[in-house]
Amino acid sequence: MGTDAQPTISFTFDDGITGDMPGFNFEEWNTMLLGHLDNAGLKAVFFVTGANKLDEKGRFLLNSWDSSGHMIGNHTFTHPNYGSATTTFEQFEQEFLITDTVINRLDNYTKLFRFPYLKEGDTKEKVIKFRELLENNGYRNGYVTIDASDWYINSRLLTRLRQNQSADIEAFKLYYLEHLFDRAVYYENLSFELTGRHINHTLLLHHNLAAALFLGDLIEMFRSKGWKIIDADEAFDDPIFGSKPLNIPAGESLVWALAKASGNFEHLLRYPAEDGAYEKARMDKLGL
């Protein structure tokens, strides 16, 4: 586990959108995304927001992931921010429990929970209470080790395609690949400094059109650069995922949180760790 002499990565996806996109209906672009994983022989984990999974389209989406052999994890019901003072433990508990009832019938239901926005609580009490809730329900934290802003690139891609469905999107693809590799190298270097080894990384992606269009290129890029790509269930077997750093506010990438807790990497850490604001000026300059 994590002992390979090369960087190792797996893919995880958040949310689960059931809407049509410019030029693509929902079923089409979801099939495209799953096709990239299937072509590469990879299994991911999809972290589900439950609110839009109760209707026909939502059930179709869950079944498409499940029947393709991908793990299905919990990502709350309505995607609230547990790092906000306005989100109580009691509210967040219900978000978790309701979505568990939405996904626990699935063959590939897995007891992994991912925090929306990677925010794990703004007070020590909230953090500890939710960790106890997870443990009491047999869940583990579905940590991200490589965080990124793919969602922001996707939002700007959608803006362009809504203006012109036949727009040339090659520059968006190149930015997407460059950004995700840059973030992967950053968190790989940071984790190696922390642990002295190559950990099994989990990359945060979102179920969106950018992934549907560019995931095949992303997989090819990582492999061409010498990264080993593994299934997500194998990645989560790495001992690092048993860590429970207790920074307040809690959250971000697990690698970021462990680096923060160590006190040795302040010069390499920003907060929030990733955000669209960090990408805006460059994307503006590139006309994206």
The closest of 175, 169, 192, 191 to 278, measured between CA atoms, is 175
Phi and psi torsions of 201, nearest 5°: -85, 150
For 24, the 3-state DSSP assignment is strand
Residue 88's pLDDT is 98
Per DSSP, the chain holds a count of helices (H) and strands (E) of 10, 9
Q: What is the residue type of 279?
A: E
**What residues contact 37, with CB distance under 8 A and at least 6 apart?**
11, 43, 44, 68, 70, 215
Place of tokens 């002992």: 3
Ranges of residues in the chain whose predicted pLDDT is under 50: 1-2
CB-side exposure of 182: number of CA atoms within 13 Å? 12
What is the C-alpha separation between 216 and 76, in angstroms, rounded? 28
Tens digit of each residue's pLDDT (9 = 90 or more) over 39-85: 999 999 999 999 999 999 999 999 999 999 999 999 999 999 999 99
User: Are β-strands 119-121 and 228-229 bridged in parallel, bridged antiparallel, or unpaired?
Assistant: unpaired
Q: What is the dihedral of CA 59, 57, 151, 201, to 10 degrees?
A: 20
Could you check whether the bond before residue 80 is cis, i.e. omega within 30 degrees of 0?
no
Residue 4's pLDDT is 58
DSSP 75-112: --SS---TTSTTS-HHHHHHHHHHHHHHHTTSTTEEEE
Residue 202: strand pairing partners: 10
Residue 63's pLDDT is 98
226: left (phi over 0), alpha (psi -120 to 50) or beta: left
Residue 5's pLDDT is 85
Tokens matching residue 97: 């429990």
Task: Identify the DSSP state of 49.
Answer: P
pTM value is 0.97
What is the C-alpha separation between 153 and 162, in angstroms, rounded? 14
CA 56 → CA 27, 52, 102, distances in Å?
A: 12, 9, 13
What is the C-alpha separation between 63 and 7, in angstroms, rounded? 32
User: Are β-strands 228-229 and 8-15 bridged in parallel, bridged antiparallel, or unpaired?
Assistant: parallel
